[in-house]
Chain A
Amino acid sequence: MTKALDTPPVASSTASALRRSLRLDVRLLGLLGVLILLCVIGIITRPETFPTQENLSTMLRLAAAIGVVSVGMTFVIIAGGIDLSVGSIVALSSVWMTTLATQSYGPFVMVLCALLVGLGCGLVNGVLISYGKVVAFIMTLAMMVSARGLAERLSDRRTQVVTETGFTEFFRASFLGIPVLVIVLALVFVVGWIVLNRTTFGRRTFAIGGNAEAARLSGINVKRHTALVYGISGLCCGIAAIMVVARTTSGASTNGLFYELDAIAAVVIGGTLLSGGRGSLIGTLIGVLIFTVLRNIFTQNNLDTDIQNIAQGAIIVAAVLLQQTTSRRRKRKPATSEPGPQPTQATGSQS
């Protein structure tokens, strides 16, 4: 952040852009380091089973659905919101797409059904939050409870097996050795990254999360945009539901349990601010992978899930603490080159 007044402005801007991307990388590199460390632990403790292609493919397949949900969650949190209903929307979509009636129309209708149910739930969240002014936490909490309730009612609490073999075969297949589920995750991630970083929609999402009032006074339709962001999250849940159904060949109202917690944890350790305005999808993806690898190591070493949960909690706190120290350092540095906070009373806020 040194001033480059002597160099031509263009040169300084490219240099600064470079520094900017490097700084981003420093934060992500730390996360990547944690991921690699976990992999090393896995290789050391289970050298014969951990670093196999089969295990890698299992891990990625397990990570795929939660990864897609986390992409949507990243949008919501960057826009300054929160979505607690993702797990229940996955359950409802998975149940709705596997009812006998839906299955009778074939695989395409099943997929379409899951996407529409997910998108619909997300939009209901979004419309009531932005136009109905219901607090996001409360609205999505209500959706979390009632969507799962509706899923239980639709399925009669039974597991609905998928009889449509074309559907399961397609999604359980591999393409060039890569499971289709992983390809879907990659596609969702890439599309999400482009939308967030290369489109006006993404820019406005950051702007609304960073300062909703400033966005409004710049002529941005903050309400409509917020509603759409929740729609995206719902749509991601619909995609995730398809993936869960494909993996388990069944739809059940117990699907997607605690997805909201896993997704929020992955987003937060990925460096996205819970208060909104700043975040990264790459960080989210690494966050998802960290938790997946952690779980895999515990399973492979036959360790109890309670220790796994403790470790998971510790990682979340450690990651957030780490980010706070880096962001503090970034804030302190420029303070030397600027006059600092200006006293408002000195310039006329008196009467």
Chain B
Amino acid sequence: MDLSLHAVSADEDAKPLLAMRGIVKTFPGVRALDGVDLEVKAGEVHCLLGQNGAGKSTLIKTLAGAHQPDGGEIVWNGERVTLPSPVAALKLGIATMYQELDLIPTLSVAENIFLGHERARYGFTRPAAARAETAKLFERLGHAEISPDEEVGELSAAGQQLVSMARALAHDAKLIVADEPTAALASDEVDNLFRIITELTASGVAVVYISHRLEELRRIGHRVTVIKDGRTVSANLDARESSTSELVDLMAGRKVQTAFREAGAAAVEFGDTVLDVRDLRRDGEFRDVSFSVRAGEIVGLAGLVGAGRSEVLETIFGARGADAGTVSVDGKRLRSGSVAAAVKAGVGLAPEERKSQALLLDMSVTHNVTLASLDDYSTVGFTQRSRETKDSLSTLERLDLRPADPWRLVRTLSGGNQQKAVVARWLVHGCRVLLLDEPTRGVDVGARAELYRLIHELAATGVAIVLVSSEIPEVLGLSDRVLVLREGDVLADRPAAELTEGDVLDMVMEGSAA
């Protein structure tokens, strides 16, 4: 894998503006960056490619001064630098446009642009100066119609993107990091953004460009760096010459097989259809989603974030109302938009945001586990505390949740064990259908393998499972059948064994069909 590292390292031109070498960043239980190299020259658009979880976000946060690397060096204009804070990065001229726009919607355009470096004298703000400078910036961006006094929350997504860009320019940035800037834009707005980027690079500004749309890289990119699993697998490829299949292969790397179901065990007999989803639609999110899951079967939903995967799960669960279509469990149609009906029919959801959507962090494991089944654990409204403890303890032991202490506060458990507590809630409830949204997010590698084993065991007991994950190998490795979604459309519904990581990547990346 390391062979390609220095393949295209000959740089005959000027010295690089930025060079990051061997950057390492670890979080408790996760090695997010494991030796990343990135080299950016002045005046180029340098594309950063990688799958979800490859480490792109961590890398740009390191570059923005938001994360401190544990190893490696950053060289800026030939000098070794450290970036202890976002302010330090901005001072050097590194500005970042985050994907989730970090603007304050209730403040005006000018106030947002000069937030943190307000135009002021003796502590008094000088709004007129800020307004004038803002107007000048938007003129430069070719969007003089955006008024400095407008409230940012009133602007369209494209307008907010421009504000973000203007803010980068206001810092006199020499390097702008743009994380999926086109994700929320319509095609004519994309054209305008590309025109601005081209003008900026012509004036010597460098841009680090992150996007999943390979055809965009061809349009504006000069060079490409591909990272996978926290490592640079290929640096400084030519953006226009490299073939799609070459890039996809680099991103996918070799197929990950560890801890997933063995190939031989694939021919499992499934039971009757438990969950049946017909023509489910939510306007603006997804349309015409149809599939069914049999007892013991695991169906995976693959796609990029924003493809509508979580929305499908939440609509099946009734947390969102459907605009059209039906969800049936054991042949009985569920009332749309009613969580209570879904829970009663035996559907359980382990949501994407475990801490904010599923857990009561300051309550005990037992109280979390029995939360959905309180009616079963009470007589005329009084809770049966000893039965609760007994059943939650036996479930904890079944799931190997450690420590198996039913009175421990959930806050003090590790990510993997918190996920087990969520699963335990639906086991105790006796669920027939389990919806798992990113079950391994924030879970370290060892605990992941355990969760994989657990998911298979649950399926073996006849639970129908629908799984969503951003990590394509995980979906392919765990599921019996995979649905591929892109921007709300189901592109494929095939047995997992017939799909490769490259196939799925091809499908989910718009315009990359080779």
Contacts and interface: CB of A to CB of B under 8 A. Distances in A.
A10 B414 contact: no
A278 B32 contact: no
A217 B53 contact: no
Contacts of B409: 334
Contact of B470 (A13, A207, A340, A351): A351
Interface string B313-341: 00001010000000000000000000110
Contacts of B361: 210-211
Contact of B443 (A10, A20, A347): A347
B363 interface: yes
Contact of B411 (A16, A218, A331): A331
Nearest to A343: B27
Contact of B414 (A4, A339, A343): A339
Interface stretch (A42-50, A135-143, A197-205): A197-205
Interface in A1-32: 1, 3-5, 9-10, 12-13, 16-17, 20
A190 to B, nearest CB: 14
Contact of A214 (B53, B61, B183, B360): B360
Contact of B383 (A200, A219, A221): A200
Interface string B344-361: 100001010000111111
A19 to B, nearest CB: 8
A338 B357 contact: no
Contacts of B180: 351
Contacts of A201: 381
Interface of A: 1, 3-5, 9-10, 12-13, 16-17, 20, 198-201, 203-204, 206-207, 210-211, 213-221, 277-278, 331, 334, 337-351
Given A347-B441, A350-B50, 6 more contacts: A200-B377, A203-B371, A207-B367, A220-B374, A339-B28, A343-B58
A96 B210 CA distance: 68
Given A211-B359, A219-B343, A351-B212, A339 B403 contact: no
B402 interface: yes
B407 A338 contact: no
Q: Is the interface of B mostly helix, strand, loop or mixed?
A: loop
Given A217-B317, A347-B441, A348-B53, A342 B415 contact: yes
B393 A198 contact: no
B304 interface: yes
B404 A349 contact: no
B317 A210 contact: no
Interface residues of B, number: 77
B55 interface: yes
Contacts of A199: 378, 381-383
A340 B473 CA distance: 26
Contacts of B360: 206-207, 210-211, 214-215, 277
B107 to A, nearest CB: 22
A212 to B, nearest CB: 10
Contacts of B408: 16
A10 B402 CA distance: 13
Nearest to B413: A338
B487 interface: no
B57 interface: yes
Contacts of A343: 27, 30, 32, 58, 442
B406 interface: yes
B433 to A, nearest CB: 14
B384 to A, nearest CB: 10
A105 to B, nearest CB: 33
A22 to B, nearest CB: 12
B59 to A, nearest CB: 9
B375 interface: yes
A219 B344 CA distance: 8
Interface in B14-44: 27-30, 32
A135 B381 CA distance: 29
B412 A334 contact: yes
Nearest to B366: A13
Nearest to A208: B360
Given A215-B371, A217-B357, A345 B414 contact: no
Contacts of A340: 28
A348 B470 contact: yes
28 contacts: A9-B396, A13-B404, A198-B385, A200-B375, A200-B383, A203-B374, A203-B383, A206-B360, A206-B363, A211-B356, A213-B357, A217-B358, A219-B372, A220-B374, A221-B340, A334-B412, A340-B28, A341-B28, A343-B27, A344-B442, A347-B442, A347-B471, A349-B305, A350-B52, A350-B54, A350-B57, A351-B180, A351-B305
Nearest to A220: B371
A221 to B, nearest CB: 6
A203 B443 contact: no
Contact of B407 (A20, A198, A344): A20
A342 B28 contact: yes
Nearest to B474: A348
A348 B28 CA distance: 16
Interface string B266-285: 00000000000000000000
B457 interface: no
B415 A351 contact: no
A339 B371 contact: no
A210 B411 CA distance: 12
